[in-house]
């Protein structure tokens, strides 16, 4: 009783806020409020047959992939943009981990965990990693690993070139920017594995395509991709 009263008192002074809308959470809500949980723009791509998945079609003729998955649709100036901004630029690593856990649980419930042997996040260059302090894709991978009950590795793939930002580049420029910047240090570690490559946002898919191609060339048996959001 005293512990509950103390928690309520602390909550009045330092209220827990929804990660998406920043409104105070009420008792029973964790990380996301009930309204945001209901109204976030979920893609549900994991429930579609591969031939009906619009995300998968972006990779046709470019990269052979088993699953093309994204948790949310990116809507400018909406809740998803706010979540991604908090994750990438406000030091809120937990946003990626929590969204990964939620999505991982959905994918596990849909029976997809059996299709993956390893989760690999798109790596940051060490210089950028040191500046930000963490890799947002790795935070998402950590959450997915917990929800899917599939191991994740942040060392299976590394970025060997510190590329310029992709934000204002078209697809051809994005591909040119990332085509030769990733490598697998230990091919024996990933040989024969079905790998889920993950990132925060998918726009043209050039970065995920480059990562997938390198992993397949190093001996991976199969590639799938997953992101927090897709544009």
Q: Which domains does the chain have, with CATH numbers?
A: 1-39 (no CATH), 40-230 (3.40.50)
The whole-number average pLDDT for the span 197-208 is 94
Q: What is the 3-state secondary structure (H, E, C) of the chain?
A: CHHHHHHHHHHHHCCCECCCCCCECCCCCECECHHHHHHCCECCHHHCCHHHCHHHHCCCCCCCCCCEEEEEECCCCCHHHHHHHHHHHCCCHHHHHHHHHHHHHHHHHCCCHHHCCEEEECCCCHHHHHHHCCCHHHHHHHHHHHHHCCCECCCCCEECCCCCCCCCCCHHHHHHHHCCCEECCCHHHHCCCEEEEEEEEECCCHHHHHHHHHHHHCCCCEEEEEEEEEC
Confidence of residue 4 (pLDDT cuts 50, 70, 90): very low
Q: pTM for the whole thing? A: 0.86
Task: Over range 129-151, report the average pLDDT.
Answer: 96
Is the model's pLDDT at 154 over the cut of 80?
A: yes
Q: List pLDDT tens digits, range 54-91.
A: 999 999 999 999 999 999 999 888 999 999 999 999 98
pLDDT digits (tens, 9 = 90+) for 36-46: 999 999 999 99
The answer on pLDDT for 148 being more than 50 is yes
pLDDT band at residue 15 using 50, 70 and 90 as cut-offs: confident
The per-residue pLDDT for 181 is 85
pLDDT tens track for 112-135: 999 999 999 999 988 889 888 999
Q: How much is the pLDDT for 169?
A: 55
Give the closest residue to 228 by CA, choosing from 16, 19, 15. 19
What per-residue confidence (pLDDT) applies to 103?
97
Is the per-residue pLDDT at 49 higher than 60?
Answer: yes
Confidence of residue 173 (pLDDT cuts 50, 70, 90): low
Q: Where does the pLDDT of residue 214 fall: very low under 50, low under 70, confident under 90, or very high at 90 and above?
A: very high
In the predicted model, what is the mean pLDDT of the chain?
88
Please state the rounded mean pLDDT for residues 207-217: 95
């Amino acid at each position: 009783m005293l512990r509950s009263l103390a928690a309520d008192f602390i909550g009045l002074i330092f209220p827990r806020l929804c990660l998406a809308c920043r409104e105070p959470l009420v008792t029973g809500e964790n990380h996301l409020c009930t309204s945001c949980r209901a109204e976030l723009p979920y893609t549900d791509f994991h429930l579609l047959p591969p031939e009906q998945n619009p995300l998968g079609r972006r990779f046709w003729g470019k990269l052979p992939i088993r699953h093309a998955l994204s948790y949310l649709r990116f809507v400018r100036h909406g809740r998803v943009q706010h979540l991604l901004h908090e994750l990438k630029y406000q030091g809120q690593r937990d946003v990626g981990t929590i969204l990964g856990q939620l999505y991982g649980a959905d994918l596990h419930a849909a029976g997809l965990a059996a299709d993956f042997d390893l989760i690999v996040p798109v790596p940051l260059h060490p210089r950028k990693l040191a500046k930000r302090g963490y890799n947002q894709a790795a935070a998402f991978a950590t959450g997915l690993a917990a929800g899917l009950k599939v191991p994740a590795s942040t060392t299976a793939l590394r970025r060997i070139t510190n590329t310029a930002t992709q934000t204002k580049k078209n697809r051809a420029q994005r591909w040119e920017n990332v085509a030769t910047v990733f490598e697998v240090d230990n091919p024996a570690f990933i040989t024969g594995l079905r790998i889920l490559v993950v990132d925060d946002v998918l726009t043209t898919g050039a970065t995920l395509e480059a990562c997938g191609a390198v992993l397949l060339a190093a001996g991976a048996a199969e590639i799938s991709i997953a992101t927090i959001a897709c544009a």
